[in-house]
């Protein structure tokens, strides 16, 4: 974990270089991520909204980091997801049913 002050300009530079992993390794991000997990009781927010329970561990930026680096550390821009919901978010998979075949 890196002890570095996170700034929007620094994140923009990481995006320009094509590697945002230094941001995700900062102490500031780890602390914010854990705060979100605890606040949501480690439950996937999307599954919970559908009446299901799944353990959520992935703290996702609702407005993507690469498009909105200024929101990187904004708590309201975070969503706790399970691995499946996070995968679906980034890969836009759809469940096939009798209407979508």
Chain segment 57-92, per-residue pLDDT in tens = 999 999 999 999 999 999 999 999 999 999 999 887
Percent of the chain at pLDDT exceeding 70: 88
Element (H, E) at 80: strand 78-81
CA distance 5 to 33: 15
- Contacts for 64 with CB less than 8 Å, ≥ 6 apart: none
- Under DSSP, the state recorded for 58 is E
Report in angstroms the alpha-carbon separations of 41 from 37, 55, 80: 6, 9, 10
What is the pTM for the complete model shown? 0.83
Find the angle CA(73)-CA(23)-CA(87) to the nearest 5 degrees: 80
């Amino acid at each position: 974990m890196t002890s570095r002050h996170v700034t929007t300009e620094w994140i923009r530079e990481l995006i320009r270089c094509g590697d945002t992993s230094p941001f995700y390794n900062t102490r500031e991000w780890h602390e914010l991520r854990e705060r979100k997990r605890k606040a949501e009781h480690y439950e996937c927010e999307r599954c919970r909204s559908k009446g299901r329970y799944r353990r959520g561990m992935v703290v996702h930026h609702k407005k993507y980091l690469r498009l909105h680096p200024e929101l990187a550390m904004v708590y309201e821009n975070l969503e706790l997801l399970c691995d499946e919901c996070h995968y679906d978010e980034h890969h836009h998979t759809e469940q096939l049913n009798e209407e979508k075949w």
